[in-house]
Amino acid sequence: MATQTEAKSEGQMSLMEHLAELRKRLIISFASIAVGAVICWIAYPEIIDFLLKPYCGTKAADESCRLFVQNPLEPLNVRFSVASYGGIVLAMPVILWQVWRFIAPGLKSNEKRYAIPFMAVSIFLFALGGSLAYWSLPRALEFLQSLGGENFEEIFSPIEYVGFVIKMIVAFGIGFEFPVLLVFLQIMGIVHNRTLRSIRQYAIIGIVVAVALITPSGDPYTLLAMSIPMYLFYEMAIIYGRVRERRRASAG
């Protein structure tokens, strides 16, 4: 039997039907996050070892590579934080699918065929961004530690360090969704390709400023590691738009 969304896919939904559909998608998304959080809670020892590796490769870490707890509740807070953010990451495919299912009724039939490619590319880019953040973390930590000079000895708190690493990974993952957003806006007709071409010089500045704001470290290595791919993605979105316009012109 067709779902309410499928039944209304070619027509308009009322406000109450939109709200009911939104509630359904939110419930599924939060349920998937809860399942992912439980998995991350169980796999916490392996996850925390993975998150500690960038720190272990810096000069500040001793042979034991341990962080120093300053509060009796801090280990519990760290575990909750890892489970929460990890649950969101694991649930990302489900969340993206629910977002697509919610907006699908407002799309034309030829636009709905982009569902699977958008899902696959979005997940790949999020993973790519997170991997790049993880790779750049040792360099970012070394740079931040060097700013204080030799008179400072770094003692990292688990909640602060884990929060820093997770924010870096999430920031890069979300930032790498930038081309998907630009392509989607062009498909929907909200942004025109000629507009993207005309604001190139401003886009470069905007990307650098945005990266500086969303990344918690603020070091030049992280800034370059994220700004350069994002600008390349911007150019790729422009190329996609031009190819799409030529195909539509030749088909018309």
In a domain, 1, yes or no: no
In a domain, 79, yes or no: yes
Confidence at residue 252, expressed as pLDDT on a 0 to 100 scale: 61
Average pLDDT value for residue range 118-143: 87
In a domain, 243, yes or no: yes
Per the structure, the complete domain to which residue 42 belongs is given by 12-247
Which tens digits make up the pLDDT trace of 43-87?
999 999 999 888 887 766 666 678 888 888 899 999 999 999 999
In a domain, 75, yes or no: yes
Q: How many domains does the chain have?
A: 1
In a domain, 151, yes or no: yes
CA 130/CA 122 separation, integer angstroms: 12
CA 199/CA 203 separation, integer angstroms: 6
Which tens digits make up the pLDDT trace of 132-189?
889 888 888 888 777 766 767 777 888 888 988 988 888 888 888 888 888 888 877 7
> DSSP H helical segments within 9-157, as ranges?
15-42, 44-56, 74-103, 109-112, 115-147
Residue of 218 and 1 predicted with greater confidence: 218
Kindly report whether the global pTM for this prediction surpasses the value 0.85.
Answer: no
CA 240/CA 183 separation, integer angstroms: 7
In a domain, 7, yes or no: no
Cβ pair 211, 175 in contact under 8 A:
yes
Confidence at residue 243, expressed as pLDDT on a 0 to 100 scale: 87
CA 159/CA 179 separation, integer angstroms: 32
In a domain, 3, yes or no: no
List the structure tokens of 113: 């065929």
Q: Quick one: 55 exposed, middle or buried, by C-beta within 10 A (0-12, 13-18, 19+)?
A: buried
